[in-house]
Amino acid sequence: MAESSGAGLPPGWIDPELATLTKDRFFDPAWMYERKFDGERCIAYRSAGGEVALMTRNRQRVNSTYPELAAALDAQQAADYVVDGEVVAFDGAATSFSRLQQRLGVRTPPESLIKSVPVVYYLFDVLRADGRDVRGEPLRDRKQILRALLSFDSPLRFTVHRSEDGRAYWEEACASGWEGLVVKRADSPYRSGRSRDWLKFKRENNQEFVIGGYTDPQGSREAFGALLIGYYDPDGRLAYAGKVGTGFDHAALAALLTSMRGLEQPRPAFETGRLPRAGVHWVRPELVAQIGFSEWTTAGELRHPRYLGLRRDKDARSVTRERPV
């Protein structure tokens, strides 16, 4: 149960537990099946007598970005807790990372934005409750502790789960267009870092990639043509994963171009892969984008990729290729 320290971190910072992608599909009552949300992972800290600190997984405080969530957590009777969850925005009945983009990184959103793009904080685990470290308790017990700890009024919601009918829940996820399910071993403790106790059943392929460049626009296209993306291989080299030229609206094109122009450099950061050479602008590998795609090609590039949004909660150096186990 590793913990980290750093400037601006709340006391007792705990690295979150992360799920592992799997290609297996199993349905076992010894596991708990939860909806996989397409949002921003956040852990909320509150020490006795202190204010809430809402933190992203890369240790950024986002109280002012989500003031309605901070206020709801501050209003809780529980005075000393650490809870884990996902901040999401909805587009109809589905969570939409693209819609959440309008709130990400906005330090002091105007009331009009808060009303037009409301967010919800789905809580699915508890690490400390009433001053007691509960990470060693089985997940099934932690879920009960969490349910009793807080009042789940909007915009705070309790993440429900299934155990006995996991197959039906997976079928519902596919029919409803959800990103997938997170499947967790019911008797497991909370372990910081990537774990096989938490698994991802994804309905479609998508993951984070590092932006390493962009191409000039063609025809009537504005701003830029395509993003050049990659990931860090096991040797720490930035590997090229292809071009992404779809999924952008006018606002995304303009905002991305502004960000990338400030990061331009003369040579590519990519160290492996067949790179384009004409009409290319290379950038420092600092921006992380969420990309959906159909599959990987044998050449190690993405087939039918599309841009979903920027990930401001992920460090570029942590981006690796997700390989199902």
Same domain, 160 and 305: no
Going by the DSSP 8-state scheme, the letter that residue 15 receives in this structure is P
Query: End of a domain among 202, 232, 265?
Result: 202
200 is catalytic: no
Alpha carbon distance 285, 241 (integer Å)? 13
Taking the C-alpha atoms of residue 210 and residue 231, their distance in angstroms, rounded to an integer, is 6
From 23, 36, 184, 202, active-site residue:
36
Share of residues in the chain with pLDDT > 90 (%): 78
pLDDT digits (tens, 9 = 90+) for 187-229: 999 999 999 999 999 988 889 999 999 999 987 788 999 999 9
Among 79, 50, 77, 53, CA closest to 64 = 53
The pLDDT tens digits for 254-310 are: 999 999 999 999 999 999 999 998 999 999 999 999 999 988 998 899 999 999 999
Q: Per-residue pLDDT for 7 more than 70?
A: no
Q: Where are the alpha helices (DSSP H) in 177-317?
A: 250-261
Position 9 scores a pLDDT of 65
pTM metric for this prediction: 0.80
CATH number, domain containing residue 178 = 3.30.470.30
Pairing between β-strand 161-162 and β-strand 31-35 as defined by DSSP bridges: antiparallel
Mean pLDDT along residues 44-71: 93
325 domain-assigned: no
Under 8 Å between Cβ of 306 and 247:
yes
Please tell me the number of Cα atoms within 13 Å of 230 on its side-chain side. 25
Does residue 6 fall inside a structural domain?
A: no
167 and 262 belong to one structural domain: no
Are 30 and 166 found together in one domain?
yes
Please indicate, yes or no, whether residues 252 and 191 belong to a single structural domain of this protein.
no
**CATH number for the domain harbouring residue 291:** 2.40.50.140
CB environment 257-283: b (16+ within 10 A), e (fewer): beebeebeeeebbbeebeeeeeebbbb
Q: How many domains does the chain have?
A: 2
Q: Please indicate, yes or no, if residue 107 is contained in any of the structural domains.
A: yes
24 and 111 assigned to the same domain: yes
Nearest to 33 by CA among 127, 126, 128, 139: 139
Q: Say whether both 280 and 197 belong to one domain.
A: no
- Does 324 map to a domain? no
Range of the domain at 250: 205-318
Query: Contact, 224 vs 48, CB < 8 A?
Result: no
Tokens of 234: 């096991």
151 in the same domain as 253: no
Least confident interval from 63-67, 94-98, 159-163, 178-182: 94-98
pLDDT in tens, 112-144: 999 999 999 999 999 999 999 999 999 999 999
